[in-house]
C-alpha cells in the first residue's frame, strides 16, 4: 500500500501559503469497469486546501501535484462512518436499558445522538482541518 496519495490539480486561489486547488477528473475513470457504481466517477472536480510549506512559486491556473498521507483516508472513514455507528449503537443499548425495552423511543434517541456528534465535528472543524492536510509536492509546467 502506498504511503502517499497524489493528485494532479489546478491552482484556483492563492492566500499566502494556503492554496485552493481544484482536483482534475482523470481519464482513468472512463476505462474502469465499476465507474457506474463509484461516487468518485460522479464527481468531476473537487476543491482542496493545500499548504505550500516549501514556498514553491506558483500562480493561479497552474498545474500542480498535491500529496497527502494515505492514513488520511482511514481517519476520514473513521470520523464519518465508524464513530457515528458506535455512538448510535451505544446510545441504542443504553436507551433500551433505561426505557425498559421501548424500541421506538430507543431508536429515536439513537438517531438523535447523531445531531450532537455531527455538531461536535462542525465545532471542531478547524482542528480537523489541521489534521487532514495536503501539501504541494511538485509543480508541473
Mean local confidence (pLDDT), 51-65: 84
Domain map of the chain by residue range?
4-139
Phi, psi of 28 (to 5 degrees): -65, -25
Q: Give the C-alpha separation, 63 to 41, whole Å.
A: 21
Closest by CA to 50, choosing from 72, 80, 28, 26, is: 72
0.85 surpassed by pTM: no
pLDDT tens, position by position, 21-56: 898 765 555 556 555 555 555 556 788 888 887 788
Strand segments, DSSP code E, in the chain are: 4-15, 18-23, 46-51, 63-69, 134-139
Enumerate helices (H) and strands (E) in the chain, giving the number of each. 6, 5
Q: What pLDDT, on the 0 to 100 scale, is given for residue 27?
A: 56
Tell me what pLDDT residue 1 has.
47
B/e letters for 78-93, b = 16+ CB within 10 Å, e = fewer, are ebeeeebeebbeebbe
Amino acid at each position: 500500500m502506498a504511503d502517499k496519495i497524489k493528485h494532479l490539480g489546478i491552482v484556483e486561489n492563492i492566500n499566502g501559503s494556503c492554496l485552493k486547488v481544484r482536483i482534475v477528473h482523470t481519464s482513468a475513470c472512463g476505462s474502469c469497469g465499476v465507474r457506474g457504481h463509484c461516487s468518485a466517477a460522479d464527481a468531476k472536480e473537487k476543491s482542496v486546501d493545500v499548504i505550500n510549506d516549501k514556498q514553491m512559486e506558483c500562480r493561479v491556473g497552474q498545474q500542480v501535484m498535491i500529496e497527502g498521507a494515505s492514513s488520511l483516508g482511514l481517519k476520514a472513514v473513521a470520523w464519518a462512518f465508524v464513530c457515528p455507528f458506535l455512538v448510535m449503537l451505544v446510545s441504542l443499548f443504553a436507551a433500551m436499558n433505561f426505557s425498559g425495552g421501548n424500541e421506538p423511543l430507543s431508536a429515536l434517541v439513537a438517531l438523535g445522538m447523531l445531531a450532537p456528534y455531527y455538531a461536535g465535528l462542525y465545532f471542531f472543524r478547524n482542528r480537523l482541518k489541521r489534521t487532514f492536510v495536503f501539501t504541494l509536492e511538485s509543480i508541473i509546467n
